[in-house]
Structure 1
Amino acid sequence: MNAQTIDYAKLQKHVDAHPYPLVFATISGAHLYGFPSADSDFDLRGVHLLPLEQVVGLDPGEETVEKECIHDGLEMDLVTHDAKKFFGLMLKKNGYVLEQLLSPLVVQTTPEHEELKAIAKDCITKFHAHHYLGFAATQWKLFRKEDPPKVKPLLYVYRVLLTGIHLMQTGEVEANLLTLNETAKLPYIGELVERKLAGPEKGRLDAADLEFHEQEYERLVADLEVAMEKSTLPEQATGKAKLNELLVKLRVGN
C-alpha cells in the first residue's frame, strides 16, 4: 500500500548538506509507519557529532539541528541530535529515538551506527510502555478534536499502541503498522490505510465509526497496560556504560 517510492539518492544529497558529521540518518514518520501518502514529507532523523571544541568550549554547539525545506521536489523535515543528547534520550525510556535508530529505512550509516543499534537492546525497559500510552492519548485527543474526525491521527493511535504491545511482548521495536497488524490481525487497519491514502475526501469518519474506534482504543490501551505488567523486560536500562564508551570513542576518535 506504499503510495510513495523513496528516492534515497535525493535524500542523501540533503543529508550531505548537514553542517556536522552524521553517525546515521534514517527515515521516520509515515514512511516508517507504513502509510505514506503521495504528498507525505520525508521525516529524516539522526545523530550528529559536534566537534570537540564546541563540546568543551564556552560556546556550545547545536545539540539539535532542525531543517525544513523542499529539495529536488521532495519536502523534507530533518532533525538530528548531538550524540550525547541522543544517548541520554536512549536512557530515558524514549520510544521515538529507538524507532529512529532502528529504522530499516537507512539513508546514511556508519560502523558506530551498528554499535549503537547493538546497545539499544540494553536500553529497552518495561516502562517504555508509558511513552506509547502517552503518545496514544495525545493522538486520540487530536483525533477527537476534528469534526468530522480524520483517519490520519487514528492510524497514529493504532500504530503506537500496537508498537507498545509488541515491544512489551517481544522486546523488539517495530514501527510499521502493516507489519504489526500481521500479528494483531485488526480487520479494519487495511481499510483505514486505504482511506488515508485516497485523500482528504475519503479520510474522515462518521459517528458510527467513532463509537467503534473509541471502544477499540480503550481495549488496546488496556491490552498495553496488561502487557506492561506481564512483560519480562527489565525495569532499568543497563546500556549506560556501553553508551559512555561509544560516546568517548566518537569524541576523541579512538
Structure 2
Amino acid sequence: MNEIIQQKLMDIEEKHGVKILYAVESGSRAWGFPSKDSDYDVRFIYINQPDWYLSIDPQGIGTKRDVIEEPINDLLDISGWEITKALRLFRKNNPPLLEWLRSEIVYYQKYAFVDNMRTLESDVFYPNSMLYHYLNMAKKNYREYLQGPEVRIKKYFYVLRPVMACKWIEKYNMTPPISFHELLEDTVPEGKLKNEINQLLKRKLAGDEFDIEPRIDVINQFVEFEMERLEEYAKSLNIEVKDPTELLDGLFRDTLKEVWQEY
C-alpha cells in the first residue's frame, strides 16, 4: 500500500504543478486502533509555484483553491492543504494539523519546512482552543453513540481519545501525542477502568467486529465526569497569546525560496 500512496502523491504533484512537503497517515491507523477494514487517511501539505502567489486574487478564493482533494474510495482517502492555509491553521493551534506533525506513519517528507514548523510550535500553542476542540469532539460522539443501555462499543475509542488528550493538555500544557496507547498509559491509572479499555483495544486490533452491546458503565462514568470537569478547567484558563504571524510569514518565504530556487 505504501507504494500505491507514494505513486499517488507523485501523480498529484504532476497533475497540479505543486510540490508536496509532507504527507502522513492521520486516521485510526495513526492513532493506534485500526480495524481490519480501516481505510488509509493520507493528509499532506503542499506548495504552489511562486506565480500562483503573485497575483491580485488571494489564495483560497474563487478558482485559487487552497486544498487538493482526491476522490475517496473504500481503501484510500487522500487530501492536502496548501502551505499558507496550513500555516494560518497552525497559527490558530489547529489540533488536526498538530496531529499530522506527530504521526509516526510518514509517507513523504522533503525540504526543511516541517522541521522548521515544529520548532515554532511553542510560539503558537494555545491550550484553550485545543481543549475545546477535543471536548466538543468527545461530547458530540458521546451524545450520538454512548448514552443508551446498549451502545456502539467501538465508538468508545472516539470519546476516550479526545478526553485523554484533554487530560494530557491539562497535565503537561502541551500538544498531546497522537498515539492512543501513549495517552492511555499516561492519563488513566491502573485499575478496572484501564483493564476494560485495554480489553476493548485488544478486541478491536484483533479484528473483532463488535457493534451494539451493553454499555460499559465504568467507562461511561469516567467520560461523563471528565467531560464536565475538563470543561470547567477550560473555562478557568486565561492565557495571553503572542502573534506569531511574522515568524510564519518568514517560514513561508524561506520555503518558497528553498523549493523553487529560481524565486
- For the aligned pair, the TM-score class normalised by the smaller chain equals 0.7 to 0.9
Structure 2 residue 58 is matched with structure 1 residue 62: no
Paired with 2:3 and 2:50, the residues of 1 have a C-alpha distance of 30
Shift in CA distance, 167/43, structure 1 to aligned 2, threshold 3 Å: same
Larger Rg: 2
TM-score, with structure 1 as normaliser: 0.83
Q: CA deviation at 1:107?
A: 0.9
Instruction: Confirm whether residue 103 of structure 1 aligns to residue 132 of structure 2.
Output: no
Cα–Cα, structure 1 residues 147 and 124, in superposed 2: closer, same or farther, change >3 Å? same
Q: Following the alignment from structure 2 to structure 1, what is the Cα–Cα distance between the partners of residues 75 and 51?
A: 33
Alignment-derived partner of residue 173 in structure 1: 176
Q: Tell me the alpha carbon deviations over residues 17-45 of structure 1, each in whole angstroms, 9 at most, x when there is no partner.
A: 22321111111110111101121111111
Any stretches of 5+ residues in structure 2 without a counterpart? 189-193
1:16-73 deviations in Å (ceiling 9; x for gaps) = 2223211111111101111011211111112111223333335743301111455xxx
- Secondary structure of the corresponding residue to residue 37 of structure 1: coil
User: Post-superposition, which runs of at least 4 consecutive aligned residues in structure 1 deviate over 6 A?
Assistant: none
Aligned: 1:8 with 2:10: no
Other structure's SS at 1:149 match: strand
Take 2:219 and 2:213, find their aligned partners in 1: how far apart are those partners?
10
Task: Count the aligned residue pairs.
Answer: 242
For structure 1, the residue ranges without an aligned partner over 5 or more in a row are 1-6
Q: In structure 2, what is the Cα distance between the partners aligned to 1:96 and 1:146?
A: 29
Residue 29 of structure 2, aligned match among 31, 36, 46: 31
1:38-117 matches, cutoff 5 A:
38-57=36-55, 58=57, 60-69=63-72, 75-110=75-110, 111-117=112-118
Q: How many Å separate the matches in 1 of 2:87 and 2:96?
A: 12
Structure 1 counterpart of 2:27, one-letter code: G
What is the identity percentage for the equivalent residue pairs of Structure 1 and Structure 2?
Answer: 21
Corresponding residue number in structure 1 for 2:139: 137
- Equivalents in 2 of 1:138, 1:204: separation in Å? 18
SS at match of 1:65: strand
Residue aligned with 2:119, SS: helix
Which residue number corresponds to residue 4 of structure 1? Answer: none
Stretch of structure 1 that moved more, 137-146 or 40-49: 137-146
Q: SS at 2:255's partner residue?
A: helix
**1:218–1:27 CA distance, 2 compared to 1 (3 A):** same
Distance 1:101 1:162, change over 3 A: same
